[in-house]
Copies of this chain bind each other. A is one copy, B any other.
C-alpha cells in the first residue's frame, strides 16, 4: 500500500496508528526526526515506519523512500469515514436563484445568497454564509462558520476551515481634511484548485482586479492576505503570516510562522522566509531569508556572529589602548 521495504514479521496485523512516545500495541508508529529515535527501543507500538537513513533493529516495520508520504497514506487508511452527502439541511436558507450541483451538502443554518454556484459534491458546513454571485468548485469543503463575501471564486477540491473570512474589504482609505474616506473595494477573489486555508484566516478582496491564491497553496491558521495580493502555486504559509497589499509572491514560496511581506513587493519562486522575518524590499527567489528587515540567511548569520563577538572586540580595544598608553610612557 505505501510502497516501502518490509522489515521483520510480514504477517503482522496492524489495527491503528499511535505516537512513538506513547505507542499502543497492535498499531504502527512513525519516526522521522532524530529526536524521536530514543523511543524506538521502548515503544509499545508493534511496527515502525521510517526513512532510508534509519535502520530498524529488532523491530517490525517499513522503510520508505518518502516516509512522510507513506505515513500519510497509512493515516488516510485508518481515518474515520467522512459522512455521506446528507443533502441540504432543512434549516439552511438557499436563495432560489442559487445553483447547486449533484450530491451537494449544505449544513444547518447555512445561508446561500443570490446566484451562488456550488459545484458537484461540495460540502458547505453549518452556519456558513456564501455571498451573492460567489462560486464554490466541485468537491470543495467549507467547515462550519466560514464567511464568503459576494463575487468570490473558490476552485475545486479546496478545503476551508472554520472562522475564515474570504472577500472582506481591502484596507484602503483616501485621507482628506483629517478624515479617512473609504475606498470602495469592488474587485474579487480567486482561490485556485487544491488550496487549503486554515481557521480564522482573512483574505481581502481586490480593490479592482482580484486577490489570488494559486493552485495547491496551503495556508495555516490566522493568516492575513491583503487586497490584490497574488500568491503563486504550491506556496506554504504557516500560522500568523501576512502579505500586505498588492505584493506578488512566486510559486513554492515557504513562509515560517509570523513571517510577513510589506506592500507592493515581489518575492521570487522557491524563496524561503524564516519565522518572524519581515520582507521590506523585493527579494529574488531560490534563497532563504531571515530577520527584520529580511536578508539572506548567510548574511544574517554572519552579522549575528559579529554581534556576539562584540564583548571580545571591546576587550581588544581596551588592550590596544593600554599598550598604546604604555608605549607613550616608554617614550
Contact = CB atoms under 8 A, between A and B. Distances in A.
Contact of A17 (B182, B186, B307): B186
Contacts of A206: 19
A182 B168 contact: no
Main secondary structure on chain A at its contact with chain B? loop
B144 A129 contact: yes
Contacts of A176: 66, 69
Contacts of A306: 307, 310-311, 314
Interface in A91-134: 91, 93, 107-109, 111, 125-127, 129
A127 B143 contact: no
Number of copies of this kind of chain in the complex: 3
Contacts of A257: 242, 244, 260, 262
A292 B128 CA distance: 39
A208 B168 contact: no
For the side of the interface on A, what is the size category? Answer: 35 or more
Interface string A295-310: 0000000110011111
A125 B111 CA distance: 11
A72 B182 contact: yes
Interface of A: 17-19, 22, 30, 33, 35, 66, 68-69, 71-72, 75-76, 78-80, 89, 91, 93, 107-109, 111, 125-127, 129, 143-145, 147, 149-150, 159, 161-165, 168-169, 171-176, 178-186, 194, 196, 198-202, 204, 206-209, 216, 218, 220-222, 224, 226, 228, 234, 236, 238-240, 242, 244, 252, 257-258, 260, 262, 264, 275-276, 278, 280, 292, 302-303, 306-311, 313-314, 316-317, 320-321, 323-324, 327, 330-331
Contact of A181 (B72, B202, B262): B72
Given A161-B165, A275-B262, A22 B147 contact: no
A18 B209 contact: yes
B224 A239 contact: yes
A194 B175 CA distance: 13
A258 to B, nearest CB: 6
